[in-house]
Chain A
Amino acid sequence: MTRSPLPGFLIALGVLVAGLLLAFTVGRYPVALGDLLQVLIAKLTGQPSTVPPAVESVIWQVRGPRVIAAVLVGAALAVAGSAFQGLFRNPLVSPDILGASSGAALGAVFGIFLSLGVFAIQFFAFLGGLIAVAAVYVIGSSVRSRDPILVLVLTGVVIGSLLGAGVGLLKYLADPYNQLPAMTFWLLGSLAAANVSDLVPLVGPVALGTLVLIALRWRMNAMSLPEEEARALGIATGPLRVAIVAAATLTTSASVATAGIIGWVGLVVPHLARSLVGPDFARLVPASAILGGGYLLLIDTLARTMAPVEVPLGILTAVVGTPFFIWLLANVQKTWS
């Protein structure tokens, strides 16, 4: 049924707001809700606040960058996921399908192997993701087939496996005391190290890619039709597909470069968003962005508070995502109609 999308959007916004409040208040140094609001109001009005400076520092310096990073990464992965699902006409694909994640992983591990700085590692991760997707795209489209989408997805799986072997090799060769733990930690995904300087390379690409995908959302419904049907509707599917893949890859690579491999968000969130606002991409893409931000923020808050030691984010998203995927696989007919 088409219903008003408003309640769905309100729920997504509610999740985001709840995530924000929780993320700022809970943790090793609990912040009272009143203090948080006072600090926010003081910042907005420019008045000096009466809250202890330690609390202010926790809010602005410690948690602020991490919260922003979580929201951006979650939104980016979810938007990329919804775009890929429409493009590949399959509700079970995710942003890493074209090798973006595995390419970025190899790039980052390579950077760690060379003992480079944080910026260089991020740059290599970013470059790795883009090169991997470009390779998948070039190889996939040079293979002649009646079903170019299937060829593309299969090429992504094959290239991803090759890149995985490359990661394995670098881990095998790495210094087991200095480099290997860093690689492992990074591959598991985490926002623990997020600071203001991390946000700089993240914000630009994520914002650009997400905005492109949001701007193209009116055409994504028709792009989810079989290729010839979309073309008969007057859509130049070739260039549009390249634009969508490029934008989604940009956001995914930037996210992976900042936070490591965080799987499943791009699969789970678009599905949840679809149940909130329906399958129309005009609503789904923005709803995925809002819900994705809130979702990853909640999971990240869980990751840093559930145990005395921080749990890697990628492990938590996989623990939530895997059963969800199996459930989805078993119920896909039912849930899509």
Chain B
Amino acid sequence: MILSGHQLAIGYADRTVGENLDVALDTGEVLALLGPNGGGKTTLLKTLLGLLPPKAGDVRLDGRTLSARSIRERAQMIAYVPQTHIATFAFPVETVVLMGRSAHGNLFSRPSMHDRAVAAAVMERLGIAGLAERPYTMISGGERQMVLLARALAQEPQFIVLDEPTASLDFGNQGKVMAEIRGLAASGLGVLFTTHDPNHALRAADRAFLLRNGTRIGEGNVDDILTRERLQDLYQAPVETVVDPKTGEIAFLPGSPAVAPSP
């Protein structure tokens, strides 16, 4: 199954953020969306989720225009993991995860035994079963990210779209989230995520889509597309590459070296 945008113009009623965007995501693969702040990453994400209507072009899901599907049908196929936030009400974690079952019940239905079983299974899978009774407002940022991921998985979707899933997480939790993203793709889901860190794309994604000022700068396999030159072009800022001499693996550092190498 493929989620794709064709010749998309994205933006809001009063302004266009990006134009002529083609993007495709297959099930079983991970696509990372990279680019400077204000470049249209979140807008593109919301357009692909169907939360924002495209200003031109169309979004297709499994060959059919997204807007032709009901909001409920969409939610059964695409799940959204927003940036973590503090909730207004101190819902228990299990209640938050159960909200992911909304698209599978009707307007008046209480969560069924099956819904509860699905919620329990995804919490188990993400290692947060022990948090089920805790208030969502009382757990750590990393745990909260896992809860939102569990809620998305409870939708039993084909695609998961994550908005900066590693932002505001500590180093250890960033690694954990990336490992989960790989795991989701391995289990057959298509994953799209935005990030400010090209290293996260290197770690977790198959392909990367580079977006600046609403224009596609490049797209391709992470190993091919994520180069120092491309990233400097993308962010309009100096970038350094470091290479592990043993494995040959590379990573990027933002900015110039603190001390200029002596001639």
Tally of B interface residues using CB under 8 Å: 43
Q: Is the CB of B155 within 8 A of A144?
A: no
A132 within 8 A of B: no
A2 within 8 A of B: yes
Q: For chain A residues 191-244, which have a beta carbon within 8 Å of chain B?
A: 215-216, 218-219, 221-222, 224-226, 228-229, 231-236, 240
Q: Is the CB of A228 within 8 A of B82?
A: yes
Q: Is the CB of B92 within 8 A of A2?
A: yes
Return chain B residues, CB-CB under 8 Å to A337.
90, 135, 137-138
Q: For chain B residues 25-71, which have a beta carbon within 8 Å of chain A?
A: 46, 49, 51, 71
CA distance A229 to B85 in the complex (A): 11
Other-chain residue from B13, B94, B103, B111 in contact with A144 (beta carbon distance below 8 A): B13
Q: Is the CB of B103 within 8 A of A91?
A: no
Which stretch in A62-70, A277-285, A287-295, A308-316 binds the other chain?
A277-285
Q: A221-B95, A228-B46, A279-B90 in contact; A233/B102 too (CB < 8 A)? A: yes
Number of A-B contacts (CB under 8 A): 96
Return chain A residues, CB-CB under 8 Å to B89.
86, 91, 224, 274, 279, 336
Min CB distance A127 to B, Å, is 29
Q: Is the CB of B95 within 8 A of A280?
A: yes
> A residues bordering B, Cβ < 8 Å?
1-2, 86, 89-91, 144, 215-216, 218-219, 221-222, 224-226, 228-229, 231-236, 240, 274, 278-280, 282, 336-337
A selection of 29 A-B contacts at a CB cut-off of 8 Å is A89-B88, A91-B88, A144-B13, A216-B107, A218-B108, A219-B107, A221-B99, A224-B87, A226-B82, A228-B46, A228-B80, A229-B80, A229-B82, A231-B71, A232-B78, A232-B79, A232-B82, A233-B99, A233-B155, A234-B71, A234-B76, A234-B102, A235-B71, A235-B75, A240-B107, A274-B89, A278-B90, A336-B89, A336-B90
> B residues bordering A, Cβ < 8 Å?
13-14, 46, 49, 51, 71-76, 78-80, 82, 85, 87-92, 94-95, 98-100, 102-103, 105, 107-111, 132-135, 137-138, 151, 155
**Which 8 A-B pairs have CB atoms at the shortest separation, nearest pair first?**
A234-B103, A234-B75, A232-B80, A279-B89, A2-B92, A337-B137, A234-B72, A233-B102
Besides the known contacts A234-B71, A282-B110, 18 further A-B residue pairs in the complex with CB atoms under 8 A apart: A2-B95, A91-B89, A215-B108, A216-B108, A218-B105, A219-B102, A228-B82, A231-B51, A232-B75, A233-B100, A235-B72, A236-B71, A240-B107, A279-B89, A280-B91, A280-B92, A336-B88, A337-B135
